Amino acid sequence: MKEIISIRKANAKGHIKRLWQNREAVSALVERQFRARFEKPLVGLSWMLLQPIILALLFAVFFGALVRVPSGNIPYPAFVFVGVALWQGVQRALSESANVFESAAPMLRQTSLPRLAPVLANVAGASIDVIISLTVAVFVGLLFAIPLTLKLVFAPLFLLLAFLATTGLAAALGGVCGAWRDLRQTIALGLQVLMFASPIIYPASLIPQEYAVLYAINPYSGIIEGLRWSLLGGSMPDIGLLLISTGSSIILLVGGVWLFTKLEGRAADAL
């Protein structure tokens, strides 16, 4: 009698359908993260805001005052605060998602919830931090006499792109680090590289023209420049390069979710 071996193929479409069917459970995960973070509102909110403020001040002193990195027509403290505010959320979402098969192991073992759900909860929870921090960035701009304009209505579009790119990258990291646990040791270094490869402490205009297209493949390059334009009245991003960053965000989302579905079975074996 021949033994029949069934191999489950990656099915991203099926995952999305199951996530929609379990949307209330996913919402509950996001709510739980929010409550845990703001169980003590004064402490939670203060610490969440202090992190980007302190980091932005350090960058403003070393790169703005000492190195004198150009920031166009935006005062450097406000310029760097926007980049730091976004990056703090991205870094949190990616770090937590890289460990998702360990941190969410009890829940994944005991429920039929799609394994991608905790990743989405991590990104959604971090997105709340980003929205609050960028709201503060607007007030920082007002302190430097930067007026609000109608360009502010474009900020949600850049935040949506950030959500798509971060979800894809978080899913990819969750799958890869779940399947090969030792790779989690490289996450901190990888995040540092990605941070300096993004226009957080410097403008994208410093990149030589011959490398501009290659630089725009990093979705956060267009996203951060777009947020500065919409929130602080910075220079408008090059439309062509912005379209490249937009395409990268979508490709990263699709590729990251596909990779997660491909590796989740192997990662789950170690639960």
> What digits encode the pLDDT tens for the residues 27-45?
777 777 777 666 665 655 6
Please determine, for residue 4, whether its predicted confidence score (pLDDT) is greater than 50. Answer: no
Say if residues 49 and 20 touch (Cβ distance below 8 Å): no
* Residue that is written with structure tokens 């996001």 in the block: 30
Identify the helix (H) or strand (E) that includes residue 267.
Answer: helix 239-269
What is this structure's pTM? 0.87
Cα angle value 23/25/26 (rounded, 5°): 65
Q: Which tokens sit at 188?
A: 């901190």
Identify the helix (H) or strand (E) that includes residue 252.
Answer: helix 239-269
Tell me the one-letter amino acid at 139: F
pLDDT digits (tens, 9 = 90+) for 160-205: 999 999 999 999 999 998 888 888 889 999 999 999 999 999 999 8
| Alpha-helix runs per DSSP H in 63-104 | 76-98, 100-103
pLDDT digits (tens, 9 = 90+) for 113-140: 778 888 888 898 889 889 989 999 999 9
Domain ranges of the chain: 37-258
Tell me the one-letter amino acid at 37: R
